[in-house]
Amino acid sequence: MKLLGLLYRFFRNAEFIVRIYESDTLRGHLQFENRVNRYVKEKRGVIPMSVSEIRIREANERDREAIQTLLLEAYGQYEAVFPAGGWDAYKASILASVDGEGPKARIIVEFEGEIVGSSLLFLSSEVAYGLPELEIHSPIIRLIAVSPKVRGRGIATELIKESARRALELGAATLHLHTSDMMASAVKLYEYLGFERAFDKDIQKGETLVKSYRLNLKETAILSS
pLDDT in tens, 101-131: 899 999 999 999 999 999 999 999 999 999 9
In order of 12, 33, 106, 163, 190, the CA distances from 144 in angstroms are: 47, 21, 11, 11, 11
Rg (CA), the chain: 21
Euclidean distance between CA atoms 37 and 32, whole angstroms: 9
For residue 206, pLDDT over 60 is answered with yes
pLDDT at 28: 53
Calculate the average pLDDT of the chain: 83
Look up the pTM and report it: 0.77
For residue 38, pLDDT over 80 is answered with no
- Beta strands 208-216 and 196-197: pairing type? antiparallel
Q: What is the DSSP letter of 47?
A: P
pLDDT at 19: 44
pLDDT at 47: 61
